[in-house]
Amino acid sequence: MTPTHFSQFAAIDWSGAKGARHPGIALALCSAGDAAPVLVEPPRGVWSRADILHWLRDRAGEPLLVGFDFSFAAPFIERGAYLPGETDATDPRALWAYVDHHSADMDLGAASFLEARRGRHFYLGAADGVKADFMHYRRCEAQYNANGGGKPSTVYDAIGAAQVAKASFAGMRLLHHLARAVPVWPFDSPPPQGACVVEIYTTIAARAAGMRKGLSKLRDGAALDTALATMGSAPHVPLARYTDHATDAILTAAWLRRSAAREDLWHPDALTAQIARTEGWTFGVT
């Protein structure tokens, strides 16, 4: 089923950083039409991950499509396990519960989960061995690469500016605490009403806006408006400060609005029932 009821669209630039407040989190929201997405102000000056969880729970009944830019699961199909030799979890919700139970970090963080397993499951530096031995990918990541999207990231690589591991495992804790208040696609079917959560890559929105590889960041208002125009969006309300987090969220919310009714994005040919059940998929990868 391709959902058609969404009239609100949110994109969340996420963070796996340690601590309780995260300047790296940005939430942009727009409604159906062509008005530019706007940044949602955090309740206490700077977003926490728990604040985002509460914001989403409070809107579970609204016709809201929400995109998070972290990986919703670890690879499973390649090796038949998320964390081989450690947990027998065979579905994402069991993995989310396991990560949450074994993470003592504040504000739904998961840095300690990775650090306790470095060299066994996660690569955090040369002391952990050969990096190539940790490069296992989900099927959607391989598909993104095959489609020319660029070098994929894996949640087992936890070092460097491009790593997604810390944000993804922190995100899994959020999804665990969200429980079934909001469906999470594709583990859950898209709902006929109410909110739904999907995984996104902000780079997909950047490519759709015509931005070249390696030049996917918008750092001023004019560039943002040019990109928004390709999404059929009116110019944005000027920001007090332009950051990659803010502009990524604003542009991706506009892309999500434009793309939400595309049947091929909800039913990509490469998304099998097994993949949907175990690894999930990134909305926008076909």
Give residue 151's pLDDT. Answer: 78
Task: Please tell me whether residue 129 adopts helix, strand or coil conformation.
Answer: coil
User: Residue 87 is inside which H or E element, if any?
Assistant: none
Q: Which residues, at least 6 apart from 215, have a Cβ–Cβ distance to it below 8 Å?
A: none
Q: Which residues, at least 6 apart from 106, have a Cβ–Cβ distance to it below 8 Å?
A: 18, 19, 20
Q: Residue ranges of the domains in the chain?
A: 8-72+181-266, 92-177
Decide if pLDDT at 120 tops 90: yes
The answer to whether residues 49 and 108 touch, using CB atoms and an 8 Å cutoff, is yes
Identify which has the larger pLDDT, 164 or 9. 9
- Provide mean pLDDT across the span 226-244: 95
> In degrees rounded to 5, what are phi and psi of residue 64?
-120, 125
Q: The tokens of 125 are what? A: 């530096």
Q: Say what the pTM is.
A: 0.96
User: Residue 8 is inside which H or E element, if any?
Assistant: strand 8-13
The pLDDT confidence band at residue 152, using thresholds 50, 70 and 90, is confident
Give residue 150's pLDDT. Answer: 75
Give residue 71's pLDDT. Answer: 97
**pLDDT (tens digit, 9 = 90+) per residue, 74-96?**
999 999 999 999 999 999 999 99
Task: Please tell me whether residue 151 adopts helix, strand or coil conformation.
Answer: coil
Distances (CA, A) of 62 to 6, 22, 43, 110, 179: 8, 26, 20, 29, 17
Cβ atoms within 10 A of the Cβ of 261, count?
Answer: 12
Task: Report the C-alpha gap between 259 and 209 in whole angstroms.
Answer: 12
